[in-house]
């Protein structure tokens, strides 16, 4: 697409957006990301379509992503000309006809669970403004800025909201080195777990020989309790595609691959459709915006392998091999997928790039704290009143996330523990509420932020039982390539199983520590290196629970009584290890 046509594309998009959102034809938006889908969004959508056809109504019906308020799904928004945007929560199929009859055909807002409204604040409505709800007002959305507001299958809606302005700026007024410097200066650190400088990581591949280089996007996201990568792809895949293209320009890459776990149909379908539209409008392919830069993107799928999220195992999977980490060196920037120089980033890391380039590194670096700039996307679940997908400024405390965003512990229970950073993360106690969402502060506390999952547990959860769940998951998901991880995980599970079933002695604590140290120093990848982390943090914060099992031979909560989960001579299955606090959510 010639460079001069970018303005024409913007004009076309803004006209399309204005007609859609403020035209004479009513607009219905239905939240249909994972949380909405699980709550019946597509059944509700079909009901709307059926009634609209039966009544011969002219209505625009869009599917959108997640506003973050997963507890309120399915969320349905109705926008009529010269009216505010009205949001209904927990909509059922029985509510659909009343919404159509009372508000689409008539002009009366039905009382079917009004969540809030946006715009036309002078109009008296029986609900608060949506941006007064803590789950909205406390968010600072960058990667998820369009989630819940645009149709992820319509690239024109993305462009109308300043989409592709970052890529256009990069290709028309910046050198590749300028782009890397801007990302470095923003302080952006990887959001996949390691929290390494994104700009520095990009710089490693600049001097690698071409012409074929790859930017890989990791959306394996196998962490129980984490769903923000999939949330971005279901809500706004274009920000990932634009960020991936910017990374390609900065590093001199020719190709991008979005790596998604097989079976995640929502993210897969919406990403593939967005890529197709990007080609249609000249936003991918040859000479983007009339420049000398050409870039291609495809989707690659992996099987159900947690270790496939490790960057070299991911490359093996892309090549059609078993997902097992490679020995390093050589490192991916020199020898990556198919032997070509490769850089691998998380979905979130790449999704920040368009706004950083468009608005500048100083803007981004002023959000957050010290060495943890920007925002964190929190997946809040467990025994919490308002589970959700919340993008908040770095530096917010865990207590603010739990009490202000999450609405406190469900069933009037008391907070006992937080499990953060996925199964290789940490188990923190109730005194952790003062800890800030900060990569370094959380690591110092014995946990990691990881991919953003925070699972909340009450006094009904046994720390030993939960730790056993985490270790069992990690043992099952070990790829088995290196001895320290393969055997170490087996040993850790055997010991924690003995503890949970009151068959252990205090000396087993030292045994686990010894095994853990060996795994940390000898394992090939982070799966084994971090495998002892959950046990270490749980023993540190919940000494009483462990002593009760070891010395008193009892479980304080009763969770461990008659609950042996590793039958002899039978390899455990991951589905056996879903703790109750996750099942409830």
**C-beta separation of 416 from 457 below 8 A:** yes
Below-50 pLDDT ranges, the chain: 1-4, 566-585
Phi, psi (5° rounding) for residue 87? -115, 125
42 vs 297: CA distance, rounded Å: 29
CATH number of 7-132, picked from 3.40.30.10, 3.40.5.90, 3.40.50.970, 3.40.50.10490 = 3.40.30.10
Q: Which ranges in the chain are annotated with CATH 3.10.20.600?
A: 372-458
Q: Which ranges in the chain are annotated with CATH 1.20.1440.230?
A: 470-584
CATH topology of domain 470-584: de novo design (two linked rop proteins) (1.20.1440)
Q: What is the pLDDT of residue 574?
A: 39
SS3 category, 184: helix
**C-beta separation of 225 from 419 below 8 A:** yes
Q: Which ranges in the chain are annotated with CATH 3.40.30.10?
A: 7-132
**Token pair listed for 341:** 């120089």
pTM of the model: 0.93
Q: What is the pLDDT of residue 126?
A: 67
Please, is 102 exposed, middle or buried when counting C-beta atoms within 10 Å of its C-beta (0-12, 13-18, 19+)?
middle
Considering all CA atoms of the chain, what is the largest pairwise distance in Å, rounded to the nearest integer?
A: 76
Buried b (16+ CB within 10 A) or exposed e, 265-302: ebbbbbbbebbebbeebbbbeeebbeeebebbbebbeb
Return the H-helix or E-strand segment holding 200: helix 198-203
Q: Which positions ≥6 away from 512 have C-beta within 8 Å?
A: 492, 495, 496, 532, 535
The CA–CA distances, whole Å, from 47 to 41, 113, 535 equal 10, 18, 49
Give one DSSP letter per residue of 58-72, joined into a string: --EEEEE---S-GGG
Return the H-helix or E-strand segment holding 355: helix 347-359
Q: What is the CATH number of domain 155-364?
A: 3.40.50.11540
Q: Does the CA dihedral 238-239-240-245 come out positive or negative?
A: positive
Q: Which ranges in the chain are annotated with CATH 3.40.50.11540?
A: 155-364
Which one, of 374, 359, 321, 322, lies nearest residue 197 by Cα? 374
CATH topology of domain 372-458: Ubiquitin-like (UB roll) (3.10.20)
What radius of gyration, in Å, describes the C-alpha atoms of the chain?
25
Q: What is the pLDDT of residue 576?
A: 45
pLDDT, tens digit, for every residue of 434-452? 999 999 999 998 888 988 9
């Amino acid at each position: 697409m010639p460079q001069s046509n970018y303005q024409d594309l913007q004009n076309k998009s803004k006209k399309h957006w204005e007609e859609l959102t403020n035209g004479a034809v009513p607009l219905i938006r239905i939240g249909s990301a994972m949380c909405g889908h699980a709550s019946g969004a597509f059944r509700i959508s079909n009901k709307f379509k059926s009634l609209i056809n039966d009544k011969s109504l002219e209505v625009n019906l869009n599917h959108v992503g997640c506003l973050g308020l997963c507890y309120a799904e399915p969320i349905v928004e109705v926008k009529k000309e010269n009216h505010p945007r009205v949001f209904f929560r927990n909509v059922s199929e029985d509510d659909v006809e009343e919404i159509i009859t009372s508000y689409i055909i008539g002009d009366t807002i039905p009382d079917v669970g009004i969540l809030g409204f946006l715009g036309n604040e002078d109009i008296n409505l029986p609900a608060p403004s949506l941006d007064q709800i803590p789950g909205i007002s406390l968010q600072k959305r960058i990667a998820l800025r369009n989630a819940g507001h645009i149709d992820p299958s319509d690239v024109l809606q993305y462009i109308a909201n300043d989409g592709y302005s970052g890529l256009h700026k990069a290709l028309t007024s910046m050198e590749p080195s300028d782009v890397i410097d801007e990302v470095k200066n923003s302080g952006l650190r990887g959001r996949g777990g390691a929290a390494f400088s994104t700009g520095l990581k990009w710089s490693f591949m600049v001097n690698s020989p071409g012409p074929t280089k790859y930017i890989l996007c990791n959306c394996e996201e196998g962490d129980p309790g984490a769903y923000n990568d999939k949330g971005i792809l279901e809500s706004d895949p274009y920000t990932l595609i634009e960020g991936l293209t910017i990374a390609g320009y900065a590093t001199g890459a020719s190709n991008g691959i979005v790596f998604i776990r097989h079976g995640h149909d929502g993210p897969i379908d919406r990403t593939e459709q967005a890529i197709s539209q990007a080609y249609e409008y000249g936003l991918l392919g040859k000479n983007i915006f009339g420049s000398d830069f050409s870039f291609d993107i495809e989707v690659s799928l992996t099987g159900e392998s947690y270790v496939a999220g490790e960057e070299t195992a991911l490359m093996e999977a892309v090549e059609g091999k078993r997902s097992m980490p490679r020995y390093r060196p050589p490192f991916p920037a020199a020898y990556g997928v198919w032997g070509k120089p490769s850089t691998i980033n998380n979905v979130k890391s790449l999704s920040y790039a368009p706004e950083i380039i468009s608005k500048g590194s100083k803007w981004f670096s002023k959000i957050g704290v010290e060495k943890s700039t920007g925002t964190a996307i929190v997946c809040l679940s467990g025994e919490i009143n308002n589970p959700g997908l919340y993008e908040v400024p770095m530096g917010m405390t865990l207590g603010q996330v739990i009490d202000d965003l999450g609405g406190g512990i469900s069933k009037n229970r008391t907070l006992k523990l937080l499990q953060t950073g996925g199964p290789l993360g940490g188990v923190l106690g109730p005194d952790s509420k003062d800890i800030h969402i900060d990569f370094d502060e959380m690591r110092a506390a014995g946990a990691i932020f990881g991919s953003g999952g925070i699972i909340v547990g009450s006094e009904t959860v046994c720390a030993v039982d939960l730790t056993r769940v985490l270790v069992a998951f990690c043992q099952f998901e070990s790829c088995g390539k290196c001895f320290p991880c393969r055997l170490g995980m087996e040993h850790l599970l055997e010991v924690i199983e003995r503890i949970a079933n009151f068959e252990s002695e205090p000396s087993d604590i030292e045994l686990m520590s010894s095994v853990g140290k060996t795994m940390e120093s000898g394992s090939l990848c982070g799966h084994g290196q971090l495998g002892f982390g959950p046990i270490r943090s749980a023993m540190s914060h919940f000494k009483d629970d462990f002593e009760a099992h070891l010395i008193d031979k009892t479980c304080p909560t009763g969770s461990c009584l008659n609950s042996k989960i590793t039958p002899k001579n039978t390899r455990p299955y991951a589905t056996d290890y879903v703790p109750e606090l996750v099942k409830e959510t």
